[in-house]
């Protein structure tokens, strides 16, 4: 059953529905995103929360694609797990974008 969890990224709180068994992964994902966004913001090269978020998402997507290409020759189960993670991130970003509209 899904229940809401609140994560904080760059000082803003976001409430996200999440199955109980996936909460630790969601918290870890939010922490990773916060750290990536904080690093980009502290560089001073990117201004605006939207732009920082997009740059962080692009960096994480780049890392994911790199891992996928490494996994193609390896464990097919790991590759499938990576694809599922990518789909979840894409769905969350799409949902978040719709909320902003």
Rounded CA gap, 92 and 33, in Å?
Answer: 13
* Domain assignment present for 46: yes
94 is in which domain, residue-wise? 23-100
Name which of 54, 10, 11, 12 is nearest 34 in CA terms: 10
pTM: 0.67
User: What's the Cα-to-Cα distance from 89 to each of 42, 53, 77, 95, rounded to whole Å?
Assistant: 24, 13, 19, 10
Contact criterion met (CB below 8 Å) for 5 and 26:
yes
pLDDT of 86 higher than 60: yes
**Which pLDDT score is estimated for 47?**
86
**Which pLDDT score is estimated for 27?**
92
**Stronger pLDDT, 17 or 75, i.e. the higher one:** 17
* Domain assignment present for 91: yes
* Domain assignment present for 18: no
Read off the pLDDT of residues 2-48 as tens digits, 9 standing for 90 and up: 888 999 999 999 999 989 898 999 999 999 999 999 999 999 888 88
């Amino acid at each position: 059953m899904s229940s809401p969890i609140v994560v904080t990224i760059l000082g803003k709180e976001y409430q996200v529905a999440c199955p109980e068994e996936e909460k630790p992964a969601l918290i870890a994902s939010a922490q990773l995103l916060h750290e990536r966004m904080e690093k980009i913001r502290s560089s001073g090269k990117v201004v605006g929360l939207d732009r920082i978020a997009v740059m962080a998402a692009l960096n994480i997507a780049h890392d994911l694609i790199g891992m996928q290409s490494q996994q193609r020759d390896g464990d097919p189960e790991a590759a499938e797990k990576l694809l599922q993670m990518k789909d979840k991130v894409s769905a969350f970003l799409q949902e978040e974008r719709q909320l902003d509209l």
